[in-house]
Copies of this chain bind each other. A is one copy, B any other.
């Protein structure tokens, strides 16, 4: 395991994507999102993505510098054409658009077209909460990547379709970010790489039978991930379907086979000023948080954890101790940097 400081990772990421043709502002946004995810311990959405994004720039899938623009709007809504720029860049622009609309219209909804991979969904909800508003966020994925079976099915019909929300408190916001499947594909790959069985109830083989062998998911023939909820998986399926509707159908791009997008992002902001005011809202949220944290624990637990608290805690730790990166991952990052002629590596 290698330890890197967040500054090292940030500078490296900025250099790599600048060398890829990103503007300074774009490179900074991508670096901010990837390093923040790595700091928070959400490693699957962190700097591990650098080689992938570099390859996607080379293949023309990501288009640095391309225009991000509102193509349809009302005072409270917008459809944003993300131009296949980096997802982190377009998602941040969508947050800005959303905040401005929610400041004036009290509740607002912004959806994407032609968005690339946005990374950690909770990040964008969090940015809204940092402006003292309530955020809901959902992100779907293109049809070619559908790997989650509907409840009762044995073919992929949805992506892992995460749903997130964030809510301000007087300290860190609550940041909740869940996939609507029983396991994220990145986690499953870890089991496969280690040669370990995956717990039962996470995946089906191609025939729709439960399996603990990650290879049964990857195939061929490919299996599926189960929707969240174990024997109540119809609930997880319903939540995944909602994400598909918000992230895809609302923007009119859900199911086209040749859809030129990776993620369909939907952001909703609710402004407490329309109700009892931001200050009063934050006070009530502090009370609610305290009430949850005051709950005596069940055997096996030593405290109650609010959504996002572990991630903020890990960030603090890693800001001190550095971000651990395994050697194989680091090597692929170094190679990607070399590919774009990045001198530091």
Contact = CB atoms under 8 A, between A and B. Distances in A.
Contacts of A16: none
A270 B109 contact: yes
A151 B270 contact: no
Contacts of A305: 151-152, 234
B292 A272 contact: no
A299 B152 CA distance: 8
A154 B304 contact: no
Interface residues of A, number: 78
Most buried by B among A152, A167, A230: A152
Interface in A232-250: 232, 234-235, 238-239, 241-242, 244-246, 248-250
B288 A244 contact: yes
Interface in A118-144: 134
Interface stretch (A19-27, A42-50, A71-79): A71-79
A155 interface: yes
B250 A291 contact: no
A59 interface: no
Contact of A303 (B152, B174, B276): B152
A106 interface: yes
Given A176-B238, A242-B176, A297 B153 contact: yes
A216 to B, nearest CB: 13
Interface in A305-324: 305-307
B207 A249 contact: no
B291 A272 contact: no
A215 interface: no
Nearest to A295: B153
A111 B228 CA distance: 29
A74 B106 CA distance: 8
Contacts of A111: 275
Interface stretch (A33-41, A277-285, A327-335): A277-285
Given A107-B268, A108-B107, A292 B74 contact: no
Contacts of A153: 292, 295-298, 301, 304
Interface stretch (A61-69, A89-97, A251-259, A337-345): A251-259
A87 B245 CA distance: 29
Nearest to A146: B291
Given A174-B241, A178-B238, A307-B238, A250 B154 contact: no
Contact of A76 (B106, B276, B300): B106
Contacts of A298: 149, 152-154, 204, 208-209
Interface of A: 72, 74-77, 79, 105-109, 111, 134, 149-155, 157, 165, 167, 174, 176, 178, 182, 204, 207-209, 228-232, 234-235, 238-239, 241-242, 244-246, 248-252, 254-255, 268, 270, 272, 274-276, 280-281, 284-285, 287-288, 291-292, 295-301, 303-307
23 contacts: A72-B275, A76-B106, A111-B275, A150-B292, A150-B304, A152-B297, A152-B305, A153-B295, A154-B296, A165-B242, A208-B298, A209-B299, A234-B307, A241-B288, A241-B292, A249-B281, A249-B284, A249-B285, A250-B281, A252-B275, A255-B288, A268-B268, A268-B270
